[in-house]
Amino acid sequence: MNIDFVAHSVQLDDNIRDYAETKLSKLTKFLDEPIEIRVSLAQERHRYLAELRVAHRFGLIQATEETDDVLDAINLAVDKAGKQARRSRKKFMDKRRKADRNNGNHWPVDVLEKTSLNAGAKPRIVKSSVLSIKPMGLDEAALHLEESKNDFFVFRDASNDQVSVLYKRKDSNYGLISPE
């Protein structure tokens, strides 16, 4: 974390620097490194203006506050930036969780070499692919099975929301595997 201080018409002493640094250290738990912070302090007549600009890995946060006391202005600006940082972190985490949740609709499929199974060693993967599992009825799954190059089709049954497998039997009929 790198903090730059800029003062306009304000006497910047160690107390103000230490106060701002301790308050800004709380932001680091919501933001990813590298973090560049610019603190601008200005005085206009009897009012103090504190402006924060926080550049982090995923974006930029800006906060401005104006009060009668310089420490209050810094505190309010840091609180405002903290709210933005929490919101940004929550948005990022929700996006990741949503991506993980959507991963449940895709199942990996590995094709194994037949001779590697009998050897007792680790099976050798010949081909890998991903099946997308969509909700649909049994009739629609049968149509997809006819169009498919595989002898099976995995789908989420729309009536009970359970994953089922429809497959072609050797007697040219269809078999359905569904959990109880």
pLDDT per position as a tens digit, 46-62: 899 999 999 988 789 99
> 3-class SS at 71?
helix
Domain that holds residue 131: 104-177
> Which pTM does this prediction carry?
0.55
Q: Number of structural domains, the chain?
A: 2
* CATH at 88: 3.30.160.100
The verdict on 163 and 150 lying in the same domain is: yes
C-alpha 122, offset from chain centre: 34
In this structure, how many other beta carbons lie within 10 angstroms of the beta carbon of residue 79? 14
The verdict on 13 and 77 lying in the same domain is: yes
d(CA 90, CA 99): 14
The verdict on 17 and 85 lying in the same domain is: yes
pLDDT digits (tens, 9 = 90+) for 46-104: 899 999 999 988 789 999 999 999 999 999 999 999 999 888 888 888 877 776 555 55
Cβ-contact 126, 115 below 8 angstroms: no
